[in-house]
Amino acid sequence: MPPRPDSRQPAVADPAATSRRRPIRVCFLIGSLDVGGAERQLVRLANSLDPDRFAPSVVTMFARGPLERELRPGIPVTNLSLQDIRERRRRGQRGRFVLGLRLLARMHRQLRRERPDILHAYLLAAYVLGALTGWTARVPVIVAGRRGLTSYHAYETGHWRMLARLANRIVAVHACNSEAAREYAIEREGLRREWTVVIRNGIDLPDGPAPELEPAWSAPAPARAAMIANLSPHKGHATVLRAVRQVLDAHPGLVLVLFGDGRERPALERLRDELGLGSSIVFAGRRVDAHRFLPGFDLLVLASTEESAPNAVMEAMAAGVPTVATAVGGVPELIREGVDGLLVPVSDAGAMAGAIAWMLDHPDERRRMGAAARERVSQFSTRRMVTATEDLYESLVRARRGGGGAG
């Protein structure tokens, strides 16, 4: 296996020396460029890397996605089309072993074609498969992008866990977007702390006026809340719907707009009807631009059972909108209880209802929280995130090449 770099801490490179060498080739690997927090952060980073020092490319494993259109011109995107392999496996047309080999073969050929200096793989499946394939393709440096509180323990089969443990021996550094994600990885997987680094998500304060809300989201609501999350079980939408049922007794005009889509939508629509919520719950679907509408809402709701550094919360903070959120993972690293928003226990509809009602009953305090949140999140700029990542890349390449540059 390739040796781990001796230095894992970001180090500022000599700009003059860097300019004399070719750019460092960075290949980003992810499942797709669909709407999601990890995907948006990848696009934000790739767009902002210094083109004189870095040459980014993106490889998606299963599908492309709408966020591909947000990449700056000149960044190549390759889709490995592994979705067709996954679908054939589900239909039982070929054995899992053979299909798995084909999956890895496609990735191997792509990496040999690109010959990146760094493979930066986002999310669990990508960095496990990316590490193993990157090793066979002789990629010098592999970075695992840990974007949530997920471990290889989530895999149901023992051989996948074995492969994940092997991948951890290949990965040069685990780049986590919160201290919670870092501590989780160290505790659950036995990673050495020096194999990890925390680089927080980047976000910028919006400029210009926000677009007007669509009529179905606003009229005739005197109070509006938003939730931006894929409709997945761990996002806790059912808890929020039950909380809204309780809030409506005192605030019958409340409307909650759910931005996102997913396999839970039919069940949530049934729950909405069972609770008699009617037009108080609006399913807005997946919207790439959902965050741009946040200034038109009174608060954001987050009910996840696990999170690392949720982009939706950061986007609400940047828009000056306070959040009612579950106190999980890295959320308390963003929201200071009673200052930037309110934190509640997981899966506690009563506590969430109380926090939402308090926000609606105290408009002045709510607005002060929004202003405090905007001020706080300004320290998590995209430029800060990009600079920290660029420094990490250069230190890893320099260590891997024995002090030389990317040339």
- Same domain? 75 vs 224: no
Is 71 exposed, middle or buried (CB count within 10 Å of its CB: 0-12, 13-18, 19+)?
Answer: middle
Q: Which residues pair with 285 in a beta bridge?
A: 259
Asked if residue 195 and residue 137 are part of one domain, the reply reads yes
pLDDT of 10 > 50? The answer is no
Residues 298 and 334 in one domain: yes
Does residue 244 sit within a domain?
yes
Which tokens in the block code for residue 330? 């890295």
- Residue 2 resides in a domain: no
The answer to whether residues 118 and 140 belong to one domain is yes
User: Rounded CA gap, 51 and 48, in Å?
Assistant: 8
Instruction: Tell me which residue range forms the domain holding 326.
Output: 215-377
Q: Check whether residue 322 and residue 180 sit in a common domain.
A: no
Is the domain of 181 the same as that of 224? no
Q: How does pLDDT run across 349-358, given as a tens digit for each residue? A: 999 999 999 9
Residue 33, domain member (yes or no): yes
Q: pLDDT for 125-139, tens place per residue?
A: 899 999 999 999 999
Distance CA(276)–CA(270), nearest Å, equals 10
* Domain shared by 163 and 287, yes or no: no
Mean pLDDT of 263-290: 96
Give domain status of residue 4, yes or no.
no
pLDDT for residue 228? 98
Q: With a threshold of 0.75, does the pTM exceed it?
A: yes
- Clarify whether residues 264 and 331 are in a common domain: yes
Determine what percent of the chain is predicted with pLDDT higher than 90.
79
Residue 324 φ then ψ, to 5°: -105, 115
Q: How many domains does the chain have?
A: 2
What pairing do the DSSP bridges indicate for beta strands 223-228 and 141-146?
Answer: unpaired
CATH for 47: 3.40.50.2000
Q: Are residues 78 and 92 in the same domain?
A: yes
- Note whether 195 and 236 are same-domain residues: no
pLDDT per residue over 18-32, tens digit each?
445 799 999 999 999
Q: Is residue 407 part of a domain?
A: no
Q: Is residue 7 a part of any domain in this protein? A: no
